[in-house]
Amino acid sequence: MIKPIGADELKPLFVYDTDEHAALTKEAEGLPSVVISSAAAGNAVMMGGGYFTPLTGYMNVADAMGCAENMKTTTGQFFPVPVMNLVEDASDVQGAARIALRDPNVDGNPVIAIQTVEAIEEVSDAQMATMTDKVYRTDDMEHPGVAAFNSVGRFAISGPIQVLNFSYFINDFPDTFRTAVEIRNEISEHGWNKVVAFQTRNPMHLAHEELCHMAMDRLGCDGLVIHMLLGKLKPGDIPADVRDAAIRKMVEVYFPANSAMVTGYGFDMLYAGPREAVLHAYFRQNMGATHFIIGRDHAGVGDYYGAFDAQTIFDDEVPAGAMEIEMFMADHTAWSKKLNKVVMMREVDDHEKDDFVLLSGTKVREMLGNGEAPPKEFSRPEVAKILIDYYSNL
């Protein structure tokens, strides 16, 4: 199986030993604590599950700046985005050697991790501006990722962590949430050797389904991991449980047995376009995928990124040899009226726009809200029914 990045084996930061876990839980009761941001909690979940191997905790400012500017820490370890524990007020934990990190997304703010404090640094305006510009390619506060990153505080608490739970994900999505460790184990159990991963934060319509079939066929893959984001999205996005139900129905009906896994991960979407595409590829290698589908405007939002910026970044900016996982570079897929099937649009140069079945997200939501299924060339009827039921209850 493909190796994790920067290590021979995954390095999950979750404390699996029951005696050690109990001792740490007891220790946390007497430690100074801080309620961390939702983004930092998501990072703890990802590190706990081994997705961010070989990171051992939250970055200091120098490492975060290095990752923002050239995708490398000060020691040369490749990582595509800063992973920071930024807080508004660190006064309650100043001088502490170890602190308890409390989860903002669960009632009562239980301890999600214990952190050994190596430094508490104030991030300057110039440093925040540089990281924002490099990661998001914009400083527009209307960009949801920019707004989130710049709203959590300026004090960076760095140091290794020991993760004690996986936040709300394991309880709210017990059939879907998986750590990188678990996905690697399941890939082995399936007997898959060549595995392609598909990222989604939306329900999968027919074009998405066919894109996965195309990738599997062209790459000769024996397995597909549909890996959906379960963390916070932007207003208007369809909730994870609805997406989960729709995708599972699609796989059940339209994929052969033992060919596709439906899984999810706990993380807040960055909407960082190209940089987030690299991050997505990074942790897909760590979970055992050999290939990853990068589509048009991958992980983008609005008009902040070019249609294929998330593809060209792998040639233009990612350091050579940083990852072993290979990209399947895809164009927009849609139903061709001429050919009577789903095609990749760049591969049919004899087509005009009217030769495709194209529906805007607004139009699809309007149809579903009215109890009307999109045409069969756009969405499977079983998937449409689940989405209609959701919209009818809004």
Q: Which of 298, 270, 269, 283 is nearest to 179 (CA)?
A: 283
Contact between residue 232 and residue 167 where contact means Cβ atoms under 8 Å apart: no
The yes-or-no answer on residue 60 being catalytic is no
In 230-308, which residue ranges form alpha helices assigned H by DSSP? Answer: 240-254, 274-286
Of the candidates 98, 154, 201, 365, the residue annotated as catalytic is 201
272 φ/ψ angles, rounded to the nearest 5 degrees: -95, 15
Q: Provide the Cα torsion 158, 162, 164, 168; round to 10°.
A: 40
d(CA 56, CA 58): 7
Label the pairing between strands 98-102 and 33-35: parallel
Q: What is the DSSP string of 47-66?
A: HHTTTTTT--EE--HHHHHH
Contact between residue 197 and residue 289 where contact means Cβ atoms under 8 Å apart: yes
Contact between residue 179 and residue 50 where contact means Cβ atoms under 8 Å apart: yes
Of the candidates 98, 109, 154, 202, the residue annotated as catalytic is 202
d(CA 232, CA 221): 31
The yes-or-no answer on residue 185 being catalytic is no
Catalytic sites, residue numbers: 201-202
